[in-house]
Structure 1
Amino acid sequence: MESPGSVPARPLSYEGVWRFTAPALDVSVPQARHAVRDLIHRQAVPVHDDVLQGLLLIVSELVTNAVRHAALLSPQVAVEVAVGPEWIRVAVEDNHPYRPKALETDSANTGGRGLLLVKEITREAGGECDVEHTASGGKIVWAALPLVPLSGAAPV
């Protein structure tokens, strides 16, 4: 018998890593969100609906940031989805070296808070997020969320 939180002896049917690229264009934002949603449904990932909605918003924010701020140096963005037995991670990679920082709330400015939103969604779900540099000089912005939110509600 496995202890809670241990890694199963063999991967569950929904576990894996998937990666796709998209042009750094506005149209790629909804396409990436829909591709991630469809992948999660196709793989029958047992993710709670609240977590899924937060994850899809994170995908939209991260791809939007890459399109708006990195397209000049990165005509393509890569989206990676990794699913483990108890978590799901999304990452967006571009070739721009700038490491973004989450802005603080400013009621006078309606933009520039995407990463703050990503951090808040991730924190509320009990997950983690970060920005890492790539060997090629670009960056990967990622967020990992538990399949079941902190409240302990059952997955759908």
Structure 2
Amino acid sequence: MQLEIRPDPAEVGRARRWARSRLAGSGIGADEPLAETLILLVSELVTNAVVHTGRPAVLRLSLPGAEEESATVRLEVADRSGRAPVPRCVDGDATGGRGLALVDGLADRWGWSVEGSGKSIWCELDRCEQSQKSAAAYDIEATAYEGFAFEAV
């Protein structure tokens, strides 16, 4: 499944709504921690693409079928910017710049790769309950990222 994203900040909300609507057929309940984490990750990666590239992007979502109890959810945002994600240091008062640090804290795996003349930033969440990270787990790990963030450009 994929969604074309225009370089407009309003697209972030549309991407979240689109991702939520896709959860219904996957067997992942909208109130499950996995769903909440997935929507937050969609928001972060789409925001990065919209804000930092100013170019159209594509959101791809790969969800397990309703019958699969243990599977991986994969989220990708491909854009037309060939610039790699680069670390940024931000102070405690900054209102942005922590998106990929959040992705790192919440996803089971994440990375990026060259795609055509641009790139794709992806992350994966394991559906099995034991390996899922939650927002609460991120709070515990947050001190490792204090003053250090990533910018996807």
Q: Give yes or no for TM over 0.5.
A: yes
Corresponding residue for residue 142 of structure 1:
122
Is 1:113 aligned with 2:98?
yes
Q: Matched residues, percent identical?
A: 27
Corresponding residue for residue 9 of structure 1:
none
What is the correspondence of 1:58-69 to structure 2 with a 5 Å cutoff? 58-69=41-52
- TM-score of the superposed pair, with normalisation by structure 1: 0.73
Contact 2:26 2:63 in 1 (8 A): no
Q: C-alpha displacement at 1:148, in angstroms?
A: 3.1
Secondary structure of 1:117's match?
Answer: helix
Secondary structure of 2:129's match?
Answer: coil
Q: Against the structure 1 CA distance between its residues 133 and 109, is the aligned structure 2 distance closer, same or farther, given a 3 Å change threshold?
A: same
CA distance in 1, matches of 2:102, 2:47: 13
- TM-score of the superposed pair, with normalisation by structure 2: 0.74
Moved segments of 4+, more than 2 Å: 44-48, 101-106, 148-152
Q: Structure 1: which amino acid aligns with 2:8? A: L
CA distance in 1, matches of 2:27, 2:120: 23
What is the correspondence of 1:23-102 to structure 2 with a 5 Å cutoff? 23-41=6-24, 43-46=25-28, 49-71=32-54, 74=55, 76-84=56-64, 85=68, 86-102=71-87
Q: Against the structure 1 CA distance between its residues 45 and 24, is the aligned structure 2 distance closer, same or farther, given a 3 Å change threshold?
A: farther
What is the correspondence of 1:122-141 to structure 2 with a 5 Å cutoff? 122=107, 127-134=108-115, 136-141=116-121
Q: Structure 2: which amino acid aligns with 1:36? A: A
